[in-house]
Structure 1
Amino acid sequence: MGAGATVTLGVSLAVPEPYGTLLQERRASFGDAAAHGIPTHITLLPPTEVPAAARPEIEAHLAAVALAGRAFPVRLSGTGTFRPLSPVVFVQVVEGATACSRLQEQVRDPQGPLDRVLHFPYHPHVTVAHGIPEPAMDRAHRELADFECAWTAAGFALYEQGADQVWRLKREFPFAQHPSAGPGPAAGSGHPQGPGVEASPTFEVTLPSGTCRPPYQRRSARPPATL
């Protein structure tokens, strides 16, 4: 890249397998064309354009955040929406939201290289439909209303958006305070993939069954910028 070149980066917490792929495929089934270009995630830093030359400083900053971090439980359950303010349907983060909020504040530390203002208050969530026709949004909201899964988050990851609009994993940052923590290797620049930083996670999942909770809508929620 030449002088003055920029890249668009994002930082996120992976939704591990098999649930990441399951939700990605469901998102595609609702007609969201962006589904296969965006690994399933909880955003910690929304798309942010930075100088390409700043990457070493950014990675050092994220490594320091991970070094101070520790693994924490995450649970997803049910659906919510930012409509009518923003055309987004999401799976709710019902456990681990406070830890995610604290982590994203550290990523955006005003003294660090990723300091930025968010357009909306931070609200951790997993997008499953964005900008598609209302009937399809309603379907996503309804059909994933009783989805649940849980795991232990053991780190986060840095992504870069390519010219093809696909988000690709660039580096993983395991938390230091986790039994399997180690150096986060740089990832290849091939096909999009989930961060996969949840080493030795504990999983639980409840898929749609005969008993569904009523669709849940956070009427007071404000739509954050998301990947």
Structure 2
Amino acid sequence: MGTVTLGVSIAVPEPYGSLLQERRAGFGDPAAHGIPTHVTLLPPTEADPALLPAIEAHLAEVAKAGRPFPMRLSGTGTFRPVSPVVFVKIVEGAVACSRLQQLVRDESGPLVRELQFSYHPHVTVAHGIAEEAMDRAYEELADFDASWTCAAFSLYEQGADGVWRKLNSYVFGGGVGSVPAQGSPVDEPAATPFTP
């Protein structure tokens, strides 16, 4: 049966999510329309499909213990020359994101893994494209600013077509609530809300 490629992230809500996704596409990033705008909590990770129930139960527990927190994006940054990435910076909520990703990857859970780089929460707006386009992304989004209350995170699966699709959302506190939709055609609503 093989493996599935999973990721866990915080969706950037509307109107910001679609706006940044369109800007990313406009900079020439071919992956833009297959990746809903997000803050990564677990990078692409191969998993046995049989582990999905345990993974979902684990994420539900992480969410149940969590509480909503303020998020604010402002300005741009880059990982160049180490990694060909331009991103929008998280200026509020980064500590909460760091704690959350540690819980997601906890060694007692089914998603334990090492990271290639130290965790640095961010919102990618350009990846692996021409240097001139990366420079343009860095400059043109330097004044970008967005704020919201983060009340949930989501589990995604990458399809054979390279598109990331939401499997479930987890709302903090264990209750059932609505998650702000990004509005992307690939970011379909979750069947069972998950409260972080």
| Equivalent residue, structure 1, for 2:17 | 20
Amino acid at match of 1:105: Q
Code of the residue aligned with 1:27 in structure 2: it is R
Residue 55 of structure 2 corresponds to residue 58 of structure 1: yes
Superposed, 1:69-80 pairs within 5 Å as 69-80=66-77
> 2:176 corresponds to which letter in structure 1?
G
Change (3 A) 1:98 1:191: same
Runs of 4+ in structure 1 off by over 4 angstroms are: none
Query: Aligned-residue CA RMSD in angstroms?
Result: 2.0
SS in 1 for 2:116: coil
Selected match of 1:43 from 40, 45, 67: 40
Report the secondary structure of 1:22's partner residue: helix
CA distance in 1, matches of 2:109, 2:187: 27
110, 115, 135: which one pairs with 1:113?
110
Give me the whole-angstrom Cα distance separating, in 2, the residues matched to 1:86 and 1:70: 32
- CA deviations 1:182-224 (Å, max 9, x no partner) are 0789xxxx9411778xx9xxxxxxxxxxxxxxxxxxxxxxxxx
How far residue 130 of structure 1 moved from its aligned partner, in angstroms, is 0.3
For structure 1, which runs of at least 5 residues remain unmatched after alignment?
200-227
Give the alignment's TM-score, normalised by structure 1. Answer: 0.79
Residue 176 (structure 1) shift: 1.2
Is this contact kept in 2: 1:100–1:124, CA < 8 A?
yes
Q: Give 3-state SS (helix, strand or coil) of 2:4's partner.
A: strand
Q: Quick one: structure 1 residues 105 and 38, their matched pair in 2 at CA, closer, same or farther if it must change by over 3 Å?
A: same
Question: How far apart, in 2, do the equivalents of 1:23 and 1:57 lie?
Answer: 33
**Shift in CA distance, 95/86, structure 1 to aligned 2, threshold 3 Å:** same
**What does residue 83 of structure 2 align with?**
86
Equivalent positions of 1:1-227 (< 5 A) are 2=1, 5-176=2-173, 181-182=175-176, 191-193=185-187
Which residue identity does 1:29 align to in structure 2? G
Cα distance in 2 for residues equivalent to 1:184 and 1:59:
18
Structure 2's unaligned 5+ residue stretches are none
Q: Per the alignment, do residues 183 and 17 of structure 1 end up closer, same or farther by CA in structure 2, a change over 3 Å counting?
A: closer
Larger Rg: 1
Cα distance, 1:139 vs structure 2? 0.2
Identity %: 68
Equivalent-residue separation in structure 2 for 1:194 and 1:93 (angstroms):
25
* Count of matched residue positions in the alignment of Structure 1 and Structure 2: 187
| Maintained 8 Å contact 1:24/1:40 | yes
Q: Match of 2:18, SS?
A: helix
Amino acid across the alignment from 1:171: N
Q: C-alpha offsets along residues 89-134 of structure 1, whole Å, 9 cap, x if unaligned?
A: 0000000000000000000000100000001100000000000000
Query: TM-score, normalised on structure 2?
Result: 0.91
AA partner of residue 137 (structure 2): A
Counterpart of 1:160 in 2: which secondary structure? strand
| Counterpart AA for 1:193 | D
